Amino acid sequence: MEMTNFANIMRWVHTTDIHGMEMLQNLKQQLGADVLSDGGDCLQGSSWTAFASSGMIAEEMNQMGYDVGVAGNHDIAAGKECLELWARNCKFPLLGMNGRYYTVIEKEGMKIGVAGFMFADLQEQVHEAVKKLLETEKVDLLVGLFHSGWEGGMMNENITRKVAEETVGFDLILYGHDHHTAVHRVQNKHGKEVLCVGGGCCGMATIINCQQHKENGWTFDVEFRYAGMEHETRAEHFPKYKEWLNTPIATLTDKIEECDSFFGPSAFITLFHKMQFWATGADISFASPVNYDSAVSAGMLRMKDMFTLYRFDTQLFIMQLSGKEIRNVLERSYGRWANEMRQASDDALLMGFILDGGTRKGLINSSLNMLSAEGIDYTVDITQPSGKKVAILQMSDGRAFDENSTYTVAVNSHHGTGWGGLFPNVDLAEKIIKTHALSTRECLTEYLRQQSIYVPETHSNWKFVPTAWADEALKRDRAILFGKE
């Protein structure tokens, strides 16, 4: 096609869910971007985000050349002071906070409208923002910048598909939050095709070559490219950061792997339960995987390893819940974790073809919301439907478990404040009786430091049943997800 058939040609580069990953310096220039955008979750998730101020993170983003960004849920979870410092120091429009949901970028005489939202505000605010960009600003290209996954999940957090189909006006939607790279083409309710691109996470860059045809509107070519630094350089530029990362914590006698946590009790999750009992004295502990497949080898654990074990800056809550509420939380968790097997050849875990463009199976729901409990003995029946899987047998010390009694429960603030939607119909503010002075990761660090030498162990207080089906199905699922039994 001759160049004269194009009214505009533009290269758009997008990142999302960086979680503190060190990106290529001068990212905009290196990838030849006309526009560089970010989809949120910059302020939590790595040793750097814990060490640096949010103002320093903003300055890094300024140097990379960002034109626009949107706040994500982990940015908001970092706290009001941290969030506002980030916003003040960003030299580009930051959408999805303080009532600002859209902006206009002008490039080569072209007006580009960008509407940016976190999932909590997406459905309520999107139509008004789109109307203003189209009718008042009269933009040439309308792009959605969503911190919301494609579909599914809890708390209406993954609603990009729904919004794309129900909203008239978008040409292109760049979304994140679910950490998947994906390309979808959907039709809105007026029959117009909308390109929706999931940007992955932790260093992935999405490159979209945008072409405006004089007669037929916009077309887009999409490419994914890793744009994180292969070797982190921040520690070389900040000696105090390097020294902090290498601070010795404790000796670990054997390797622990997070991937074991999806198939039953694991040494990885047992470590968190033991720490939470130590820190709170609670009756019951809730904990979940965070990073999906992280591992820590035997040897000296250093501060940098604490972020491999737990990278987010959540607080540790003590809540007071009834036995019935505890069972309901577990039902919600395992309902999004375990399949309802109809025959022995079915998957044990709730998986779907969601990876590599729909060609490879992965877990449908976030591992962060796959809570297991310790302090009680229970079974999870993978032949039963969601809501009827969990049978609590007794307290692990042999006492009876009573659904009408109340228990103290240790849980991190991600779940304890309602993220993940595991506490249905519970007034969480009334249930929190204490917040630990240290963050979850700080508690873990202090627990291991006091142990000096930590010997991993697995507390087998729960299991998937019936074992005749579960054992073989879980072996198959492990091979699918991690390439090993």
pLDDT per residue, tens digit, the chain (485 aa), is: 344 455 678 999 999 999 998 998 889 999 999 999 999 999 999 999 999 999 999 999 999 999 999 999 899 888 889 999 999 999 999 999 888 999 999 988 899 999 999 887 777 889 999 999 999 999 999 999 999 999 877 678 899 999 999 999 999 999 999 999 999 999 999 999 999 999 999 999 999 999 998 777 899 999 999 999 866 789 888 999 999 999 999 999 999 999 999 999 999 999 999 999 999 999 999 999 998 899 999 999 999 999 999 998 889 999 999 999 999 999 999 999 999 999 999 999 999 987 877 788 999 888 999 999 999 999 999 999 999 999 999 999 999 999 999 999 999 998 998 888 898 778 888 999 999 999 999 999 999 999 999 999 999 999 999 999 999 999 999 999 998 66
Q: Are residues 276 and 138 in the same domain?
A: no
- Distance separating alpha carbons of residues 366 and 30, to the nearest angstrom: 33
| Contact partners, residue 106, CB within 8 Å, separation at least 6 | 112
In b/e form, how buried is each residue of 177-198, taking b as 16+ CB within 10 angstroms? Answer: bbbbbbebebebeeeeebbbbb
Residue 339 — φ and ψ, nearest 5°? Answer: -75, 165
| 14 lies in some domain | yes
Q: With residue 278 as reference, give the H or E element that holds it.
A: helix 267-280
| 145 lies in some domain | yes
Q: Are residues 271 and 128 in the same domain?
A: no
Structure tokens at 34: 């006309």
| 349 lies in some domain | yes
| 439 lies in some domain | yes
Domain count, the chain: 2
Structure tokens at 468: 């005749």
| 123 lies in some domain | yes
Q: Are residues 211 and 281 in the same domain?
A: no
Q: Are residues 395 and 270 in the same domain?
A: yes
Helix (H, G, I), strand (E, B) or coil at 259: helix
pTM (2 d.p.): 0.85
At residue 5, the pLDDT reads: 57
Q: Are residues 377 and 469 in the same domain?
A: yes
- Distance separating alpha carbons of residues 171 and 143, to the nearest angstrom: 6
Q: Are residues 208 and 319 in the same domain?
A: no
Helix (H, G, I), strand (E, B) or coil at 279: helix
Q: Are residues 324 and 211 in the same domain?
A: no
- Distance separating alpha carbons of residues 195 and 35, to the nearest angstrom: 17
At residue 275, the pLDDT reads: 98
Structure tokens at 317: 């809550």
Q: Looking up tokens 């932790």, which residue turns up?
A: 202
- Helix, strand, coil percentages in the chain from 3-state DSSP, rounded to 5: 30, 30, 35
| Long-range contacts from 153-158, C-beta under 8 angstroms, 24+ separation | 153/178, 153/365, 153/366, 154/332, 154/336, 154/365, 154/369, 154/420, 154/421, 154/422, 155/119, 155/418, 155/419, 155/420, 155/421, 156/119, 156/123, 157/73, 157/119, 158/119
| 232 lies in some domain | no
Angle at 18 between CA 12 and CA 20, to 5 degrees: 135
At residue 229, the pLDDT reads: 85
**Among residues 18, 415, 414, which one has the least CA distance to residue 179?**
18
| 241 lies in some domain | no
Last residue of a domain, one of 171, 194, 226: 226
Q: With residue 84 as reference, give the H or E element that holds it.
A: helix 80-89
Q: Are residues 222 and 270 in the same domain?
A: no
At residue 2, the pLDDT reads: 40
Q: Are residues 477 and 447 in the same domain?
A: yes
At residue 154, the pLDDT reads: 67
Q: With residue 270 as reference, give the H or E element that holds it.
A: helix 267-280
Q: List the CATH number of the domain containing 209.
A: 3.60.21.10
Q: Are residues 333 and 210 in the same domain?
A: no
Q: Are residues 275 and 183 in the same domain?
A: no
| 201 lies in some domain | yes
Q: Which domain holds residue 115?
A: 3-226
Q: Are residues 200 and 287 in the same domain?
A: no
Structure tokens at 438: 């240290």
Q: List the CATH number of the domain containing 469.
A: 3.90.780.10
Helix (H, G, I), strand (E, B) or coil at 362: strand
